[in-house]
Amino acid sequence: MAVHVWRACLGAVLLAVPLPAFATSLCQAGAPDDFSPAGVETTSATPRWETCMSNTTAGVRAEFDGCVIDHYVRQSFFLGSCGAADGDTTGSGTIVVTVRVRGMAGSATTNDYLILGAGNGALWGVTLNTLQCLRTNGADCTWSPGDTATFTVRLNDLPPSSASPFICAWPQLVTTLTAAVGDSGELDVGITDDTCVDYLAVRYDAAVPTRPRSWGSLKVLYH
């Protein structure tokens, strides 16, 4: 009889342990203000990402919205500070990167790139032509001066990376960065080099277990 009572108590305890819950975190750099030059929207990057991106073109634009030909925009995100529990980014959730951009008038936009990394150089990149083509379902496959778009890429389902023309090169045909970003907790974003950037955002949905109760506190609860 005592065994049955104990089993019933254990069942109650197991039912009381919280199940994993989904958490959504958002990191945003720059403000979605339609490229307004008002205010200062600074970007920041780790030294390693800065070094990588500095090999792509003439110089860096350290603020969003400002449009300077032959300059890149770069940003390093740390997913732990986006609110992911304990910095754990290895869950089964997805990481989505949103980029609001506009091709500069009178510039060479067709060789502009979106580049991603995970703390130790570039790991993936495609031209904005490719993203424009996907966004328009093939209707427009050229990223042109004056084009404005909000591109969204999912790190577990990326368009295959193209050949890299830069010294800080990435491998071809990469279609996922979820594991790499999960391992490092860092997501680096770069955009070259005749394209204005309004803002960047990273949304992170993860199955993050809620903090379990200790066995000691359970014994107190069910004593």
Q: Which is nearer to Ca ion, 132 or 178 (CB)?
A: 132
From candidates 65, 91, 95, 130, binder to Ca ion by CB under 5 A? 65
Does 186 interact with Ca ion (rule: CB under 5 A)?
no
Q: Which is nearer to Ca ion, 186 or 193 (CB)?
A: 193
Contact window for Ca ion (CB under 5 A) among 72-80, 112-120, 145-153, 162-170: 112-120
DSSP string across the chain: -HHHHHHHHHHHHHHHSPPPEEEEEEEEES--STT--SS--B----HHHHHHHHTTSSEE--BSS---TTEEEEEEEEGGGGT-GGG---SS-EEEEEEEEEEPTTS-GGG-EEEEESSSSEEEEEEHHHHHHHHTTTS-----TT-EEEEEEETTSPPPP----SSS---TT----HHHHHHH-EEEEEE-SSEEEEEEEEEEEEEEPPPPPPHHHHHHHT-
Does 129 interact with Ca ion (rule: CB under 5 A)?
no
From candidates 43, 125, 129, 198, binder to Ca ion by CB under 5 A? 198
Task: Residue 75: count other Cβ atoms within 10 Å of its Cβ.
Answer: 24
Q: Which is nearer to Ca ion, 58 or 221 (CB)?
A: 58
Does 33 interact with Ca ion (rule: CB under 5 A)?
yes
Does 108 interact with Ca ion (rule: CB under 5 A)?
yes
Does 194 interact with Ca ion (rule: CB under 5 A)?
yes
CB of 195 to Ca ion, least distance (A): 7
Does 93 interact with Ca ion (rule: CB under 5 A)?
no
Q: Which is nearer to Ca ion, 124 or 199 (CB)?
A: 199
CB of 113 to Ca ion, least distance (A): 8
Strands 59-60 and 71-78: parallel
Q: Which is nearer to Ca ion, 64 or 124 (CB)?
A: 64
Footprint of Ca ion (CB under 5 A): 30-31, 33, 64-65, 108, 111-112, 193-194, 198-199
